[in-house]
Structure 1
Amino acid sequence: MKLLSDYCAAVLAGGGSTRMGTDKARLPLGNSTVEERVIRELHNLTSTVVLNKKEPINTPLPTISDVYENVGPLGGLQAVMEVRKEEWFIVSACDTPFIKKDVYQYLTNFVNDQRQTIIPIYNGRFQPLSGLYHKSIYPELVSLLENGDRQVGKLLDRVHTYYVEDFGELRAKDLDLHFFNMNTPDDYQKAKEIAKNLA
């Protein structure tokens, strides 16, 4: 598969991991951390991968900290877009250890000049932290944050969003893995079992 040279992939890892009780991105899973798994898969899509994180960590990746603190994913997206010059941004949460490059690749099929965000819906649930975002949303993003609004849904309502519910020939098993996220210690135990079975 050809790398997406005009895309920047951003791992949003600026959250507090309050339900997990520790930095979930740094938890070990097999021979890697959760974060390393996400980064490795994104590197199969594009050579440009950045990390949105509060504190610098030992990583060769460019690390971008929030401008607007404690405002959730919108703050991470704003911080990355402020620094990077790419037109399109692939977004991944830091707690989705089994993301699949094929899912993101599939979403790029829906990119055109009119659409500003491409957002998957899987099993009836919106998945904005697994979407594609165009640089043109930046002014609207800043406007929301300036007004103290951190709702991702409100951003999607204000820009030209295209929702993808049909995933063509992608396997349900791969989609289940891609959209699996771990917020709690129970989720982490489940992730360890999945990782063991995938090894």
Structure 2
Amino acid sequence: MSEGLNACGVILAGGGSTRMGKDKAWLNLGGQPVVVRILNELQKTVSTVVMNQNDETDLPIPSIQDIYRDAGPLGGLHTVMKRREEEWFFLSACDTPFIHKSVYDYLSSFANETSDAVIPEYEGRLQPLSGIYRKSCLPIVEKLLDNGERKVIFLLEQVNSVYVSDFRPLSREVVNRHFFNMNTPDDYLKAQEICKIL
């Protein structure tokens, strides 16, 4: 379904990685940096992928620096929407190394003419950094940032958000791994174990 959308993949890599103690995006996992794993999977989903970060990268994709500095994921979403022409934006945080095309395809099947955002809810928790967002959100994103708001949840409350919590058509193992979040050194060790069985 994602093939039918005019979409851009977005790797959000602007965070400070404070709990990990080093840049999560460039940790080695299964012989390659985490961010390369994410890039490879997003490229199976959409034809164009960009990275939101404030340092230059060696990756062969556009690197887009924040317009609003220190504005978190909402600032990253704003920057990419402002500088790209696509209608839809498929987000991935840089600490979710096991994202999967099938999950994004499934989410995109819920996108319609009236929806502004399609947001997964998994095991009782919203996962806005694995959501897909329409460019129609941009004016509200800008207004929130101008007012000093930084939380994506405030955006979701003001646009037509579709929440997806039933992932039964997909493999449970794939969905579990898709939403695996690698924030701490212990999480990194767990990710290395997961790599051994993939």
Aligned-pair RMSD on alpha carbons? Answer: 1.2
CA distance in 2, matches of 1:29, 1:178: 15
CA distance in 2, matches of 1:4, 1:73: 26
Listed as ranges, the matches of 1:178-193 within 5 Å are 178-193=178-193
Measured against aligned partners, the alpha-carbon deviations of 1:99-153 in whole angstroms (never above 9, x if no partner) come to 0100000011111111100000000010001001000000000000011100111
**1:20 and 1:184 in contact (8 A); partners too:** yes
Q: 1:58 maps to which residue?
A: 58
Q: TM-score, normalised by structure 1?
A: 0.97
Measured against aligned partners, the alpha-carbon deviations of 1:141-185 in whole angstroms (never above 9, x if no partner) come to 000001110011111001110100112310111110000010111
- Residue 135 of structure 1 aligns to which amino acid in structure 2? K
CA distance in 2, matches of 1:177, 1:4: 25
Q: 1:71 maps to which residue?
A: 71
**1:3 and 1:44 in contact (8 A); partners too:** no
User: Would you identify which runs of 4 or more consecutive aligned residues in structure 1 move more than 6 Å?
Assistant: none
1:124 aligns with 2:124: yes
Q: 1:168 maps to which residue?
A: 168
Q: TM-score, normalised by structure 2?
A: 0.97
List gaps (5 residues or longer) in structure 1.
none
User: How many residues are treated as equivalent by the alignment?
Assistant: 198
**What's the CA shift for 1:7?**
0.6
Identity %: 53
What SS does structure 1 have at the residue aligned with 2:60? coil
CA distance in 1, matches of 2:100, 2:126: 17
Measured against aligned partners, the alpha-carbon deviations of 1:63-111 in whole angstroms (never above 9, x if no partner) come to 0011111111001100100110000110010110000100000011111
CA distance in 1, matches of 2:72, 2:109: 28
CA distance in 2, matches of 1:120, 1:3: 19
- Residue 120 of structure 1 aligns to which amino acid in structure 2? P
List gaps (5 residues or longer) in structure 2.
none
Q: 1:93 maps to which residue?
A: 93
Q: 2:153 maps to which residue?
A: 153
Q: 1:139 maps to which residue?
A: 139
